[in-house]
Amino acid sequence: MNDRKPTSSEVPLPRPLVPPAARWLLLAFIAAPSVLRLATMIWQAPHAVGLPTLLRVGSRVMFFSLPQDAFIAVQALAVIAAAGWLFKRLGEPWRWRLSAALATALFVALHFYLLVDFLLFNKTGLRMDYELLAFAADLETMSSSAVELGLGGLAAGVAALVVSLPLLFLFFRRQVQHWQPSWRLAAMLPVLAAIALLARAAIPAQVGYATNNLLLADETRLVSLVLTEPAAVGGDDDGAIELLTPKAEVFRRTSPDYPLLKETVGFTGEKQFEIAIAEGERPHVVFLFLESFRALDVGVLGGRHNVSPNFDRLSQGGILFTNFYGNGVQTSRAVVASLFGVLPCFSPMAEQESRTGVPMIGLADLFNRRGYQSAYFFAGPLAFESQDPFFKLHGYHELYGQEQMAPHFKGAARTSWGLHDECLVRYAADWLAGQDAAGQPAQMTMFTITNHHPWHVPPDYQPPTTAVDPDQEYARFLQTFSYTDRCLGLFMRLLGERGLAKKTIVFVLADTGTPMGEHHGNHLLINYLYEENMRIPLLILAPGRIARPVKIDDVASQVDLLPTVMDIFGMQGLNHAVGTSLVRRVPGRTVYFNNPFAMQYLGLRRDKWKFIFNVAAEAPALYDVSADARESVNLLEAKGARPLPNVDSLRGEAKSVNDLMLKLWVTERFVSPALVERAGQPGTGGASGARAVNETQ
């Protein structure tokens, strides 16, 4: 029997938790996020922040961010290890080659994603999001704006990744060949996940939005999406349904399965204006959306730079709304709010592209039922955000984009976004003249594009001079703004020259506003919900039909347009609009809006109060916009006591309305496809036999 004890040199050493080769792999996957985070903090740090403050905040951020980076890195190693085990049957050297190739591909993909995120955030304030990958199909259309923002950093980063591919492959081949996967490390993934999530929660939301590990945020959202079933609409939503119940409208709810669906039979209450339409007459109807034509620069609404002379002149003979709002940011949200009467979904995805086939009843259906020809006009590519299939599926008989217009305007200047507005209004006016000559009433929806970033006017247009420094972005915006205003005047003049002015009712509005540095130096629509983002003009023009032009100060929004049209034309039938007819005098109107991008905001406007709620940071703000139009004083932070609305009530109201709309969008619960088809059939009421479960007046 051998009782000899092993010497110290013979004692087997415990295997390290992280093998030496794995340490290099971990370092490779941790380094880039950390470097980019430091660069972001330095880039975004205000000039007023001194070095000591930057170091203090930066060290705290790095302390809580490194566990997030480590967790993502360990996951990458786990994937490589699992692949190496699967490749084991192939034998050497293919096992190592394939493992190294996978590691290289994974490294490049993750770091390209992080690089895009870094540049996107520091150029726009928007972080990369897996949902935003859907916009990849529209990159060509966005290229003018992308070039203006600058692509040098992205090009350099991509070039560096491409050039380093051979070196990365050799590095990973050497590491995986000498690395025996540690299953103990893999078993620690749940512990690392918990630490990473706790560290993520420890960073304040506003700082964390810029510095948390993007990949961990995406993973968290994906897991939540998989594990969470869409909530059913039920009793908890009754309050939100009541808040969204239209006023001054006589209707019957038609089905508990579709909470907003109703059959409108009429409108009631005192009228604010009259637009004369003779019995049996079918005037043409035009919805003209002026890109980013914010109220702040419209002369009759307080604009100081004289860039809207045509709008100002036309408003003297029309119905002008001075407190009109968009219900969301981005054009696609204006589409669903204005044309279908529903609040946009709280999601960064484009409404048209992500919800192309959601059954809805819109203005086109209502006019088609009366024998109209519905057409959509956009001087850009119809493929952008899936406009082509969306509008075809929602009642539009004809669609015209730059593909159809360009042959008629050979050599016309354009940007990647499309042809300039003059081409649009001339083409649309000619089309309408053709419909009129054939005795066919028409409903037209038009979207201009020139007043869109990067704010380039046609080379032959001479914009008016303003007091704004010509080197500022705001000066370029005012130039395109004035050009769009000129095209508005041209369109109305063309209608007059073709004898169509008195046969046509025109709704002129913007899709959204756009900020020009009024708050926090922000120039991006997808940040915040201030007046420059949301307040837009609405002007109804009907030459020869308006006996008394009027300016209306009621708070209103895009979702009010569909019931307004129904009231003007005396329409009845199915719809799911949540707005209230602007024809009627209704005190205490409420406007709801949301911004699902960046820090995410919900908001509402009622009377003089404007309430905004930062969802990510749970930070509310309240403004008296009648006395503080620039929203310079958050009354919740201001000193001095004064009566204020109940903030908890406002927050709960905005949240409950948004939650209900999110459920309806996710579950597609606005109307059944069969009823949509019936709603658009000529000569039908669109709701015969519907069961009445509720009635209001």
- E strand intervals along 268-360: 284-290, 319-325
Sheet holding 249-253, edge to edge: 573-575, 262-267, 249-253, 694-696
Pick the range with the lowest mean pLDDT from 48-52, 283-287, 693-697: 693-697
Segments in 228-386 forming alpha helices (H): 238-243, 309-315, 331-340, 351-354, 363-368
Terminal-residue alpha carbon distance, the chain: 102
Q: What average pLDDT score do residues 299-327 get?
A: 98
Q: pLDDT-based confidence at 35, cuts 50/70/90? A: confident
pLDDT for the residue 18? 58
Q: pLDDT-based confidence at 4, cuts 50/70/90? A: low
User: Do residues 506 and 288 touch, judged by C-beta distance below 8 A?
Assistant: yes
Tell how far CA 105 is from the center of its chain: 32
Encoded tokens for 408? 């008629």
Query: What H or E segment, with its residue span, contains residue 265?
Result: strand 262-267
User: Do residues 409 and 419 touch, judged by C-beta distance below 8 A?
Assistant: yes
pLDDT tens, position by position, 327-365: 999 999 999 999 999 999 998 888 888 889 999 999 999
Question: Is it the case that residue 269 has pLDDT exceeding 80?
Answer: yes
Query: At 407, is the secondary structure helix, strand, or coil?
Result: helix
Question: Is it the case that residue 425 has pLDDT exceeding 90?
Answer: yes
Parallel, antiparallel, or unpaired for β 319-325 and 284-290? unpaired
- E strand intervals along 42-152: none
pLDDT for the residue 556? 98
Nearest to 490 by CA among 421, 404, 407, 401: 421
Question: Is it the case that residue 374 has pLDDT exceeding 90?
Answer: yes
Encoded tokens for 665? 């969008």
Considering only residues 47 and 599, tell me which one the structure prediction assigns the higher pLDDT. Answer: 599
Number of helical H runs and strand E runs in the chain? 23, 18
Question: Is it the case that residue 533 has pLDDT exceeding 70?
Answer: yes
Considering only residues 159 and 513, tell me which one the structure prediction assigns the higher pLDDT. Answer: 513
Q: pLDDT-based confidence at 689, cuts 50/70/90? A: very low
Tokens 């036999």 correspond to: 689
Distance CA 627, CA 292 (A): 25
- Please report, as a single letter, which amino acid is at residue 671: V
User: Do residues 374 and 395 touch, judged by C-beta distance below 8 A?
Assistant: yes
Question: Is it the case that residue 413 has pLDDT exceeding 70?
Answer: yes
Distance CA 443, CA 432 (A): 9
Global pTM value: 0.89
* Omega before 93 within 30 of 0, i.e. cis: yes
- What domains are defined for the chain? 20-227 (no CATH), 243-542+554-680 (3.40.720.10)
What number of residues does the chain have? Answer: 697
pLDDT for the residue 224? 78
pLDDT for the residue 153? 65
Question: What residues have CB less than 8 Å from 589, skipping those under 6 apart?
Answer: 247, 554, 555, 556, 580, 606
pLDDT tens, position by position, 169-228: 888 888 777 666 666 767 778 888 999 999 988 888 878 888 888 888 888 888 877 777
Question: What residues have CB less than 8 Å from 615, skipping those under 6 apart?
Answer: 599, 600, 601, 602
